[in-house]
Amino acid sequence: MVVNQTIRDDQTIVSPQQNFELGFFSPGNASENRYLGIWFKRLATGTVLWVANRETAIKSKSGELRFSSDGFLVLRDSATNHVIWSSNTNGKATNPVARLLDSGNFIVTDNDNETENYT
C-alpha cells in the first residue's frame, strides 16, 4: 500500500508469492459481520491468522483500511465514519509503504531506506 491508498471491502492485498491475503471477511456463511484479517491464500479452509477488529465487527460491507501520510493504518466504518482500529508506530517514515510479506506479516517501512527498518 502506498500513502493515502484505501482498501475497501471488495479489495485485497496479496503477498508477493501468493501465500497470504489481507482483506475483509465474514466468519461462517450466516454472519453479516465483517472483519479485517490476514489468511492463508492457498488453503481452501480460509484459515485466518490475524484479525484487526476482533472485538468490534463492522456491520456491513462499509469497511475501509486507509494508509495515512504519516504511516498509520486506520480501519474505519465508512457508513458511520467511526474509527474501529488503528496501528501504532514507533517512528515516522519519510516515505512510508505498507507491505504484506510472504511470512504473513503486514509491515510499514520507509521506502527511502535501503535497510529493512520496520515500524
Q: Burial-class residue 114 by CB neighbours within 10 Å (0-12, 13-18, 19+).
A: exposed
Percent of the chain whose pLDDT exceeds 90: 58
Summarised one tens digit per residue, pLDDT across range 48-88 is 999 999 999 999 999 999 998 888 899 999 999 999 999 87
Q: Output the pTM of the full model.
A: 0.85
Domain locations in the chain? Answer: 6-110
Q: How far, in Å, CA of 77 to CA of 64, rounded?
A: 6
DSSP state of 34: B
Q: Are 49 and 38 in contact (CB under 8 A)?
A: yes
Q: What is the pLDDT of residue 119?
A: 42
* 6-110 CATH, one of 3.40.640.10, 3.90.1150.10, 2.90.10.10, 2.130.10.10: 2.90.10.10
